[in-house]
Amino acid sequence: MILDARTWAALLVDGFSGILVALTLALALRSRLGLAAAAPREGAGQLLALLLGTLLFLRLLAWGLFFLVLDGYVPRLSGSGVMCAFGVVQLHPALAQAALWSKPAALAALLAWWAVAACERDLAGAPFARLRFQLALPVALAVGVEIACAARWLFADKFEAAVTCCSAALDPLRESDWTVHTAVFGLAGDAALAVFLLAKAALAGACVVAARSGAASRPGWAAGLCLASLAVAWLGLAAWRDVIAPRALGLEFHRCAYEPIARSPLLGATAMGAALAHAGLLSLALLATIRAREPAAVERAAGGIARWAALLLASEVLVLAIHAL
């Protein structure tokens, strides 16, 4: 295990998050088992919102710290053949990937809970209170799994393995693995970037239309936006790895999406904002299932999510378009 300042910061955030998860689980279980009286339900609901709001902030912070930790390990692991953040991931790829992908999954769960909570704004009687307490349990479990994955990777021994990292591009026997274009639909360079930006812009436009027409929580629109969000997110991963990273780093064969996020605050904020937009759009499917209970309130919350997603996606398109010029 490597104990530098970034690792200590990540462990501190994970520790506080773990305490909040335990409190959330206790509160959710107490409500589910019927141990809470009816009178203090409003206070319990406010406490639950405070816990999950703080968790959302801390796990977002932990997500950004993950990339900084990767970058900080590079000098210490250079003796193992590590040359960049991609090489750090290759030391324990299964653990690193679990730690990475569980983070947006946990954030998507937290955003879904807050999407339901947003439906109750300016409504009397808290019509979704029962649902919020029911959702708190799986959401807390998802965050707990994410914290466990992060801790498992942080505590893993990273000096026991060796990697070739990007130096494999200089190996004549493996050169084809790095020179082949694996970007968007077999395209590369400007063509791949154009396809990616157009897809992002189209999704942002669809979000604006859904928000303005009041259709964001209708089953058809919600399903369409969720599927489009997943498809464009997959497209974005390929574009960031195979097109954007080499340009941002000035290295033709450096297909590492971790490095630009860690090295460039602007690109890092842009990438994480776009990822939050994709995760937030997934909550529209949940809102579509509860629309019948309070149609106007649910549609207001769904429209807000669609507008924020459009803003974040449009920001990504603008930043990357300027960066490519």
**pLDDT higher than threshold 60 for residue 174:** no
Per residue in 245-294, pLDDT tens?
Answer: 877 777 666 777 788 888 888 888 999 999 999 999 999 999 999 998 88
Per residue in 211-244, pLDDT tens?
Answer: 999 899 999 999 999 999 999 998 888 888 878 8
Range with lowest mean pLDDT among 57-61, 76-80, 229-233 = 76-80
HSE-up (13 A, CA, CB side) for residue 319:
20
Instruction: Please give the mean pLDDT across all residues of the chain.
Output: 85
pLDDT for 228: 95
Going by pLDDT thresholds of 50, 70 and 90, the confidence category of residue 322 is confident
**pLDDT higher than threshold 80 for residue 189:** no
**pLDDT higher than threshold 60 for residue 321:** yes
Q: Which two tokens stand for residue 164?
A: 């070739």
The mean pLDDT value for 25-54 works out to 77
pLDDT for 183: 47
More confident residue, 74 or 315: 315
Going by pLDDT thresholds of 50, 70 and 90, the confidence category of residue 106 is very high
**pLDDT above 70 covers what percent of the chain?**
87
**pLDDT higher than threshold 60 for residue 39:** no
Q: Which two tokens stand for residue 282?
A: 């997934």
Q: Which two tokens stand for residue 116?
A: 């339901």
Per residue in 130-161, pLDDT tens?
Answer: 889 999 999 999 999 999 999 999 998 887 77
How far apart CA 300 and CA 72 sit, in angstroms, is: 43
10 Å Cβ neighbour count for 173?
7
The mean pLDDT value for 192-203 works out to 90
Select from 61, 83, 65, 66 the least CA-distant residue to 74.
83
How far apart CA 3 and CA 5 sit, in angstroms, is: 7
